[in-house]
Amino acid sequence: MDIRIFKNEQEIGVAAGQLFCEFVKEKPECVLGLATGATPVPTYNYMAAQYAEGNVSFKDITTFNLDEYCDLPKEHKNSYYSFMFENLFSKIDVNPENVNFLDGNTTDPEAESARYAEAIASKGGIDVQLLGIGRNGHIAFNEPADAFTGESFKIALTQSTIDANSIYFDDIPMPRYAMTMGIGSIMKAKKIVLIATGSSKAEAVKGMIKGEVTPQLPASILQQHDDVVIFLDEAAAALL
Ligand code: GLP
């Protein structure tokens, strides 16, 4: 694991944003795996600013998002689809036809999982996958469990995740289920970039890097990937 520690989330936004921009400049038709949550926002801001300044174009990239809430219209302001357009896609020249999401409203999660796996494979796999981490060590929506997951699937969210994310839902109750890429699909990415900021992530970060590899702390599986870059601020790195 290549662990890089920065003062604060703004500095990480620049460093991680640079990594993505440089990658896109080198491989304009690359496939990016993207994440939602508060953590990647400074990175997305940097990418959007670089585009606005004419330093990089995203017109040929393809993206796959990690996860999506179930039982929430795609157009709702809290869907991850809306999040990505608000925070990144509307600010860069990505072709909307090349952005991909799991369908949280599918009536057939298994068929949806197969569709997503095929779509990723047809593009040659994910070149760089961006990840955040939950307070309980989840990545995407892979919650602590008895076994590591495989391809995409439908999951019941844990109370820890509901507590953390319900602050964003001011009009309706937060969905209790989500469709998420599984650990197996995430581990297929050629390169993984994980960002963690703030003291609420310190315990999970310690387990991910120094603990045993266990599905009870899903991010610990990243110890077994051979190209992982971890960006931490000082608060998230405090227990290392
Ligand atoms: C969410 C998402 C994850 C994200 C994590 C942390 O539930 N499914 O992809 O990494 O929780 O979110 P935040 O960055 O807001 O702390």
The CATH code of the domain at 2-233 is: 3.40.50.1360
**Which residue out of 9, 34, 39 has the highest number of ligand 1 atoms within 8 Å of its CB and is therefore the one to mutate?**
39
pLDDT digits (tens, 9 = 90+) for 182-220: 999 999 999 999 999 999 999 999 999 999 999 999 999
Neighbours of 188 (CB within 10 A): 17
Residues 6+ apart with CB under 8 A from 228: 1, 2, 191, 192, 193, 194, 222
Task: Answer yes or no: is the C-beta of 79 below 6 A from any ligand 1 atom.
Answer: no
Question: Among residues 3, 79, 90, 75, which one has the least CA distance to residue 44?
Answer: 90
Residue nearest to atom 3 of ligand 1 (CA): 140
Residue 160: which pLDDT band, with cuts at 50, 70 and 90? confident
Where would I find the beta strands (DSSP E) of 97-198?
99-100, 128-131, 153-156, 177-180, 191-196
**138 carries an active-site annotation:** yes
Residue 40: which pLDDT band, with cuts at 50, 70 and 90? very high
Least confident of 4-8, 168-172, 200-204, 230-234: 168-172
Average pLDDT over residues 212-232: 98
Q: φ and ψ at 130, to 5 degrees? A: -90, 135
- State the closest ligand 1 atom to the C-alpha of 165, by its place in the atom list counted from 1: 7
Higher pLDDT, 58 or 171: 58
Whole-model pTM: value is: 0.96
Is 6 a residue whose pLDDT tops 90?
yes
Give percent of the chain with pLDDT exceeding 70.
100
Residues 6+ apart with CB under 8 A from 19: 128, 193, 229
**136 carries an active-site annotation:** yes
Residue nearest to atom 10 of ligand 1 (CA): 132
Is 239 a residue whose pLDDT tops 90?
yes
**26 carries an active-site annotation:** no
Question: Of the listed 67, 68, 112, 233, which one is catalytic?
Answer: 67
How many Å is the Cα radius of gyration of the chain?
Answer: 17
Q: Is the Cβ–Cβ distance between 151 and 182 less than 8 Å?
A: yes
**67 carries an active-site annotation:** yes
Distance CA 136, CA 210 (A): 15
> Residue 23's pLDDT is what?
98
Tracing tokens 């602050």 back to the chain, one arrives at 167
Residue nearest to atom 12 of ligand 1 (CA): 37
Question: Among residues 189, 192, 183, which one has the least CA distance to residue 218?
Answer: 183
Average pLDDT over residues 76-94: 97
Task: Answer yes or no: is the C-beta of 195 below 6 A from any ligand 1 atom.
Answer: no
Tell me the residue type at 55. N
What average pLDDT does the structure give for the chain? 97
pLDDT digits (tens, 9 = 90+) for 171-182: 899 999 999 999
pLDDT digits (tens, 9 = 90+) for 110-157: 999 999 999 999 999 999 999 999 999 999 999 999 999 999 999 999
Is 51 a residue whose pLDDT tops 90?
yes
